[in-house]
Amino acid sequence: MSQRIERISEEFQKALSECIRTLKDPRVHEAMVSVTRCEVTGDLRYAKAYISVYGSDQQKKDVMRGLKSASGFLRRNVAAKIQLRYAPEILFTLDESITHGAHINEVLHELEEEGKL
């Protein structure tokens, strides 16, 4: 990936995070949501946003539905913030890496308590 696209991806991530915080949709507003990573394609047509949600499986599904329904609003606002000629279409993907990391940490802690580590 070129340096320019990497820089745009980082800016896109920051702007998207800010815009998600302003959403009034209760599905998104009531959960703890963070944008862990963004990847903008070289032609700036698509942006894949990895979303981490802290909560139950139902909350995760609700947040993803809420983000998908607000994608037009988010697309316009993010493009305006980072001043892109074309507003990339946002593809939301649930990122389970934080949950997975917390689970691994929990298992390691249990093993440590049992004296197996």
Mean predicted confidence (pLDDT) in 4-25: 94
CA 69 remoteness from chain centre: 15
Would you say 35 and 15 are in contact if contact means Cβ atoms under 8 Å apart? no
Nearest to 78 by CA among 4, 11, 1: 11
**What is the reported pTM?**
0.83
Query: What is the tens place of the pLDDT at every residue in 45-102?
Result: 999 999 999 888 899 999 999 999 999 999 999 999 998 888 899 999 999 887 788 8
The secondary structure of residue 101, as a DSSP letter, is H
Token pair recorded at residue 10: 């980082």
How close are the terminal C-alpha atoms of the chain, in Å? Answer: 40
